[in-house]
Amino acid sequence: MTMPLMKPKRKNPVLRTRQMNLPPWARGRVALGMTAAAAEGRFELQVCKDCSTVQYPPREACHKCLSPRLQWKPQSGQGTLLATTTLHHSNDLFFRERLPWRMGLVHLDAGPSVIVHLHGEVGEAPSRVHVGARLDRAGQAVLIGFPEQGSEHMADDRMLREMTSDPKFRKVLVTDGKTAVGQAMVQALVKAGAEIVWVGHAEPWKKLPGFDDISALKEVTLVPLDLTNGRSVSELAGEIGGKVDIVINTAEVHRTYGIGARRGTDVAKSEMEINYFGYLRLAQEFGPALRARSADGVTHAAAWVNLLSIYALSNFPPHGTFSASKAAALSLAQCQRAEMRPAGIRVINVFPGPIDDEWNQNLPPPKLAPAALASAVVRALKEGVEDVYPGDVAQEWLERWRENPKVLERELAAGGN
């Protein structure tokens, strides 16, 4: 049984901050299919279209019939643990600092045998286990063997915590606490065990519903933050940037209409000023501090979360300029992910469908409740997922976009949603 994680002692300021060493990250292009699935929380293996053989490791052709017709398909992960070993020595810099490290050989019910990292609650062989795919600190897929039935504190396992960004005992910045989404995010983080939640707020003279409720939480500290003002972002980064473990950017401007229904560019500029340039200012000021602390003990800096939109994948004309600003933010997030990866910081992009708020009031259900969105973000942090598509609408859009982006564009242009 996993022992519950205890609140870490205060860091000794005299000691030098450890620098990040990544686990082995080189992968061939074929193997990146497993990483792509793990980024969304799925465990997939190659399956031959001709003889239905499930194979591992990934190859260019089926090892049984040599057919090149292979596709990635989700797997249950059920299997039998055949053998275990514990590493007490390693020449690899990442593992050398984290020994001892337990590994095992699992024969999957689907056919292949795989080498996995073992959760601490997995017993000795032979025993039944469940194999799942997770992203490691280098952002590549690795396999983990889990017990069939875990305990209450299994998320506190030392090895598993290296693969995730669990907010427990971590310090989190939520950039905008005045929206329904921001407030739900704060409450979800407090429930998940965050030690401190800094909540940004611009225009303090505005009294919005629910803000006093989160202000009363003992874990919450209000901080002035205006993403349209570079000085405001810089001053806050100078004050708390070296302490933040997770940044969750919930700030956004969302207005309806597209191009022809509104004259001028003022609204589009305000959307870009927060949704793109505000995000850019935030990344420039807080990004370096997170990268510097990515190996700083059990509560190291861990993740950056961007609230985007499913409209970033394909423009939704009734919300056209908003969609364009989120598409620009998505491109920026991909750049940030590449820059953060050498430090082991996970960049999580969230693509919700319509949220149940004032700017989507004229859209018919289903709409995503702010609390459901917040729960999806916390779950992504705990499970180490990289891309999140919460809600029925987002899932449907994603499926249609993957099937044929041009068809989806035409459907949306014709009024479909």
What kind of fold does domain 171-413 have according to CATH?
Rossmann fold (3.40.50)
pLDDT at res. 149: 87
Instruction: Give the CA distances from residue 410 to residues 326, 407, 413, 417, in Å, rounded to whole numbers and listed in that order.
Output: 20, 5, 5, 11
| Closest alpha carbon to 297 in 10, 62, 28 | 10
Residue 131, classed as helix, strand or coil, is strand
Other CB atoms within a 10 A radius of the CB of residue 49 amount to: 12
> 342 phi and psi, to 5 degrees?
-60, -20
Distance CA 210, CA 205 (A): 15
Determine the distance from the C-alpha atom of residue 355 to the mean position of all C-alpha atoms in its chain, rounded to a whole number. 19
Q: Where are the domains of the chain?
A: 32-163, 171-413
| Burial class of residue 218 (count of CB atoms within 10 Å of its CB; 0-12, 13-18, 19+) | exposed
Q: Which amino acid is at 273?
A: E
Encode the chain (417 residues) as per-residue pLDDT tens digits.
676 777 777 777 777 777 888 998 888 899 999 999 999 999 999 999 999 999 999 999 999 999 999 999 999 999 999 999 999 999 998 999 889 999 999 999 999 999 999 999 999 999 999 999 999 999 999 999 999 888 888 888 989 988 999 999 999 999 999 899 999 999 999 999 999 999 999 877 677 778 888 989 999 999 999 999 999 999 999 999 999 999 999 999 999 888 988 888 999 999 999 999 999 999 999 999 999 999 888 888 899 999 999 999 999 999 999 999 999 999 999 999 999 999 999 999 999 999 998 878 878 889 999 999 999 999 999 999 999 999 999 999 999 999 999 999 999 998 766
pLDDT at res. 202: 87
Distance CA 75, CA 330 (A): 29
Q: Are 171 and 247 in contact (CB under 8 A)?
A: no
pLDDT at res. 1: 62
pLDDT at res. 403: 95
Which residues have CB under 8 Å from 221's CB, separation 6+? 196, 197, 198, 199
pLDDT at res. 263: 85
